[in-house]
Structure 1
Amino acid sequence: MKKIIIVPFILLALVAAAVYYSQQQSVQQSDSLTLYGNVDIREIQLSVNASEHIAEVYVEEGDRVKKGQLLARLHTELLEAQLAEAQAKFLAQQQTLAKLKAGSRKEEIARARAEVAATKAEAKMARDSARRLQKLLPKKQASEDDVESALAKADAAKARAEAAEQSLALVIAGPRIEDIAIADAQLQAAKAQVALARQRLDDARLYAPADGVIRNRILDPGDMVFPQSAILTLALLDPVWVRAYVPETALGKIASGFKAGIMSDSFPGKQYEGWVGYISPTAEFTPKNVQTPELRTRLVYSIRVYACNSQNELRLGMPVTVTIPLQQSPGGADTHGCP
């Protein structure tokens, strides 16, 4: 009885081994590799780096947009006023620096010379008056208080004349180098404020970062927007690539640059040209959303297969079948052009 029970298990094991061997042989002898994957969904959530109410949204869902195209803008009245203020301060500081670099005008120097001459004349007159009083002191025709007062006035006049001469020297020398450097630094700060105000004004406008199609219009004019809130969703259509998974047993049969054919159920019989653009260096388990004849628990490697999609028939997320001929040289280019 034990022999009768063991025989069926042996037969089943032999059949399973034969099937496995047959599958491995078919994979080894096949001249192409068939994989299953999906067109990668590549979308961008578009927002602005500002907090304000939306003024206008210029696109609708389904619109094709070009890189750099204006898509929406916020209310910018406050930002425009801030820019005007920064520009006015910049112009004022620019004139201050120009005034310092120009130095003293000839009229200012002439006035300083005249002040020197006037103070010297006053000093001479005060000195002469004090000397006359000193001569009258022995004759008792002038008091000591009058003489002392006259001498003090002469000394004060002399000091004013010396101060006027120093002022003339400063006017001729012009502003200090340090003052010019400070004014120049203040001008650069004012220039930076203008650039900052312009950047904030530009941040209130939403531009397309790449060519694509507007998939979703999330907010409308009047809505309050913040930097973390999206206004539009942009679907990227170029380049289009398929995310597929290669079993470890077939990894050594393909290389970057291999040509590939891509087919979808939406267009039966039509094959799109493509090429292998990237092979992941890290193994992973097969994603559950990929239909593959291999066991889902088997380790696979993610690959990116670029597709020629000139008529935009391959849509994002679409399931496709990828066929890679194995009789290719691995030393080709990493990318290929589409016809």
Structure 2
Amino acid sequence: MRWGVILALLLLVVIALFVIKTYEHPSAAQEGLTLYGNVDIREVQLAFNDEGRIQNLSALEGQAVRQGEVLGTLDDRRYRLAVDRAHALVQEADAHLNSLLAGSRHEDIAKLKAEVASSKSTLQLRKSTYDRIVRLARQKASPPQDLDTARAAYQAATAQLQALQASLNLALAGPRTETISAARATLNAAMAGEALAQQQLTDTRLLAPADGIIRTRILEPGDMASPQQPVYALALTRPLWVRAYVDEPNLGQVHPGQTAWVSSDSFPGKRFKAWVGYISPTAEFTPKTVETPQLRTSLVYQVRVFVCNPDNQLRLGMPTTVHILPGAPSVSSHGDPCQQSAKP
């Protein structure tokens, strides 16, 4: 009986080990589709949006940077002077427009009215003198040159009164609508020039467009930069995906949004949550860098599998294996898929 009990215990241990082994390493039918690929390398060439001498570069090769982080600056003295000049032009145009909208000052109108009244009195005096000289000329009691002088003085006084009256009417009416529109357009142009100068000043800073890792630092402080000359080569890390390939017979087992799991030889036994994000609409020959059980000459379709990398353990270019289970559910289109719970 003792040997029977020992044999029964051994049988139970073997059965338990078999069950555990089967759960941890499913059969080929349970494992579903297995693809091979690499973490895709996506790189951005970063350059300043303006020309100038580089004053400072803060990022080094291999450094992780965040979106919006300042990576370098140009010498901005010329650009600051341009902003100050543009701001002064805006103030000048704004003051001119405000003066037109305010119209003539009361003091100016009062002065013109007084000048018109004075001109009227002068005109009456000139007219009286002219009338008297005319009567004397008819009686042959005045020389002809006195008549000419009186007539000229009377005409000059009349013209002066008309000019002063016109100036008073303009002051009372205020500026023309077209003049105000032109002044407003001048102000808008000055404001646009100030915005452009401010944007050029902002462009003296080089910002990281996304999270990533500096792969190459091409220029150094003191070099001349331009929009055509890259300063950094930035490797993007988000979103991270694996570039894999599926052959035509297994293409029907894969669909966009399908849940998958990614594993790497660098982290044995660890699986990274993933999902199928893109399937190429056209076939191509298997790239030589991809190892699959199929022949090299077989046609395959490129598959982009997005993968969650919360601890930044996966590196760009790392060889990986993609596991797609049969009947695996699709990830939700709402929220961050990496925050959604799922089990293999």
TM-score (norm 1): 0.87
**Cross-structure match for 1:261:** 261
For 1:29-44, list aligned pairs within 5 A.
32-44=32-44
**Cross-structure match for 1:251:** 251
Bigger shift: residues 110-119 or 273-282:
273-282
**How far apart are 1:198 and its partner, in Å?**
0.9
**Cross-structure match for 2:88:** 88
Q: Secondary structure of 1:281's match?
A: coil
**How far apart are 1:29 and its partner, in Å?**
5.7
RMSD: 1.9
For 1:83-232, list aligned pairs within 5 A.
83-232=83-232
Bigger shift: residues 90-99 or 271-280:
271-280
**How far apart are 1:212 and its partner, in Å?**
1.9
Counterpart Cα distance in 1 of 2:265 and 2:135: 128
Which residue identity lines up with residue 225 of structure 1 in the other structure?
Answer: A
Counterpart Cα distance in 2 of 1:49 and 1:97: 34
**How far apart are 1:296 and its partner, in Å?**
2.0
Counterpart Cα distance in 2 of 1:336 and 1:258: 11
Which residue identity lines up with residue 285 of structure 1 in the other structure?
Answer: F
In the alignment, is the contact (CA less than 8 A) between 2:31 and 2:323 conserved in 1? no
Which residue identity lines up with residue 336 of structure 1 in the other structure?
Answer: P
**Cross-structure match for 1:24:** none
Which residue identity lines up with residue 193 of structure 1 in the other structure?
Answer: G
Counterpart Cα distance in 2 of 1:297 and 1:201: 55
**Cross-structure match for 2:298:** 298
Counterpart Cα distance in 2 of 1:300 and 1:138: 122
In the alignment, is the contact (CA less than 8 A) between 1:257 and 1:336 conserved in 2? no
**How far apart are 1:149 and its partner, in Å?**
2.3
**Cross-structure match for 1:53:** 53
Which residue identity lines up with residue 111 of structure 1 in the other structure?
Answer: K
Which residue identity lines up with residue 65 of structure 1 in the other structure?
Answer: V
Query: CA-to-partner distance for each residue in 1:261-310, whole Å, 9 max, x for gaps?
Result: 21112122222121112212222222221111212222211111111211
In the alignment, is the contact (CA less than 8 A) between 2:286 and 2:300 conserved in 1? yes
Q: Secondary structure of 1:303's match?
A: strand
Query: CA-to-partner distance for each residue in 1:92-145, whole Å, 9 max, x for gaps?
Result: 111011111110000110111111111111111110001111222233321122
Q: Secondary structure of 2:179's match?
A: helix
**How far apart are 1:253 and its partner, in Å?**
1.3
Q: Secondary structure of 1:206's match?
A: strand
Counterpart Cα distance in 2 of 1:127 and 1:280: 101
Q: Secondary structure of 1:81's match?
A: helix
**How far apart are 1:76 and its partner, in Å?**
0.8
Query: CA-to-partner distance for each residue in 1:23-75, whole Å, 9 max, x for gaps?
Result: xxxxx966501111000112211111112110001122232222111110011
Counterpart Cα distance in 1 of 2:29 and 2:64: 46
In the alignment, is the contact (CA less than 8 A) between 2:260 and 2:328 conserved in 1? no
Query: CA-to-partner distance for each residue in 1:233-256, whole Å, 9 max, x for gaps?
Result: 222212211010111111111211
Which residue identity lines up with residue 220 of structure 2 in the other structure?
Answer: D
**How far apart are 1:329 and its partner, in Å?**
4.9
**How far apart are 1:179 and its partner, in Å?**
0.5
Counterpart Cα distance in 1 of 2:161 and 2:286: 97
Counterpart Cα distance in 1 of 2:337 and 2:112: 80
**Cross-structure match for 1:337:** 338
Q: Secondary structure of 1:260's match?
A: strand
Q: Secondary structure of 1:228's match?
A: coil
**Cross-structure match for 2:21:** none
**How far apart are 1:162 and its partner, in Å?**
1.6
Counterpart Cα distance in 1 of 2:123 and 2:48: 72
TM-score (norm 2): 0.86
Counterpart Cα distance in 2 of 1:303 and 1:80: 49
**Cross-structure match for 2:17:** none
Counterpart Cα distance in 2 of 1:204 and 1:169: 53
Counterpart Cα distance in 2 of 1:162 and 1:275: 88
In the alignment, is the contact (CA less than 8 A) between 2:216 and 2:232 conserved in 1? yes
Q: Secondary structure of 1:55's match?
A: strand
Counterpart Cα distance in 1 of 2:109 and 2:191: 33
The runs of 5 or more residues in structure 1 that have no matched partner are 1-27
Counterpart Cα distance in 2 of 1:174 and 1:60: 64
Q: Secondary structure of 2:290's match?
A: coil
In the alignment, is the contact (CA less than 8 A) between 1:43 and 1:234 conserved in 2? yes
Counterpart Cα distance in 1 of 2:218 and 2:312: 24
**Cross-structure match for 2:6:** none
Query: CA-to-partner distance for each residue in 1:166-207, whole Å, 9 max, x for gaps?
Result: 110001111111011001101111111111111111111101
